[in-house]
A and B are shown apart, each in its own frame.
Chain A
Amino acid sequence: RKEVEQDPGPFNVPEGATVAFNCTYSNSASQSFFWYRQDCRKEPKLLMSVYSSGNEDGRFTAQLNRASQYISLLIRDSKLSDSATYLCVSLGFQKLVFGTGTRLLVSP
């Protein structure tokens, strides 16, 4: 079993839609969690950190459920520019563990 698992998608949504991704992790000792965004043939970039209390950054909301060991990312009012692959990431000892990513396609 992979340490971080994600639905690969793709999620096809129209502009303006709300879309949510979930990610599960197996290492209960993981300390911190993140969402990274990766555009086609580009490098990953940090989108946001994930806190137990939940955090919001504009149209993006991330939440962590330690009891069930899952992380979520909610995107409201989707834009064409949101089309990308979203990587769920956990922080273990001295290194990040990346999920394989969920692909989002936003259409006009």
Chain B
Amino acid sequence: NAGVTQTPKFRVLKTGQSMTLLCAQDMNHEYMYWYRQDPGMGLRLIHYSVGEGTTAKGEVPDGYNVSRLKKQNFLLGLESAAPSQTSVYFCASSYLQETQYFGPGTRLLVL
């Protein structure tokens, strides 16, 4: 099992560009999450999903959209990137809410 994978691993964007981060899990988990991690701020939940076709807002959803069209995939979109979205993005999945398995992260730099 690959567990949780994220694509891409690293990306540089210019302000105003758009991009989609892909998260995939092969553990048949219902729950999936997108976090961002910034120095001194810890992990903050952007959006999450409790099952295929469902999404919900987390703590810092503004500027991001998500979709969960297939159970194994959770996409995070940035429609118009801003320098404030420079961060490390982690995807996670879980069978129950407790034990979350994280992907390796995507490092995003917005210039």
List the interface of chain A (C-beta within 8 A of B). 8, 32, 34, 41-46, 49, 87, 91, 94-96, 98-101
Contacts and interface: CB of A to CB of B under 8 A. Distances in A.
Contact of A49 (B45, B98, B104): B98
A105 B105 CA distance: 23
B43 A44 contact: yes
Contacts of B45: 95-96
Q: Which 3 A-B pairs have the closest CB atoms?
A: A100-B42, A43-B102, A98-B43
B100 A46 contact: yes
Given A95-B58, A96-B97, 15 more contacts: A34-B98, A41-B105, A42-B105, A43-B90, A44-B102, A45-B102, A46-B99, A94-B56, A95-B33, A95-B45, A95-B97, A96-B98, A96-B100, A98-B42, A99-B42
Contacts of B97: 91, 94-96
Interface of B: 33, 35, 40-45, 48, 50, 56, 58, 90, 97-100, 102-105
A101 B42 contact: yes
B90 A95 contact: no
A43 B104 contact: yes
B50 to A, nearest CB: 6
Contacts of A95: 33, 45, 48, 58, 97
Nearest to B88: A41
Contacts of B48: 94-95
A8 B39 CA distance: 11
A44 B35 CA distance: 11
Contacts of A44: 43, 90, 102
Contact of A87 (B42, B50, B98, B105): B42
Contacts of B44: 98
A62 B108 CA distance: 35
A34 B102 CA distance: 15
A40 to B, nearest CB: 12
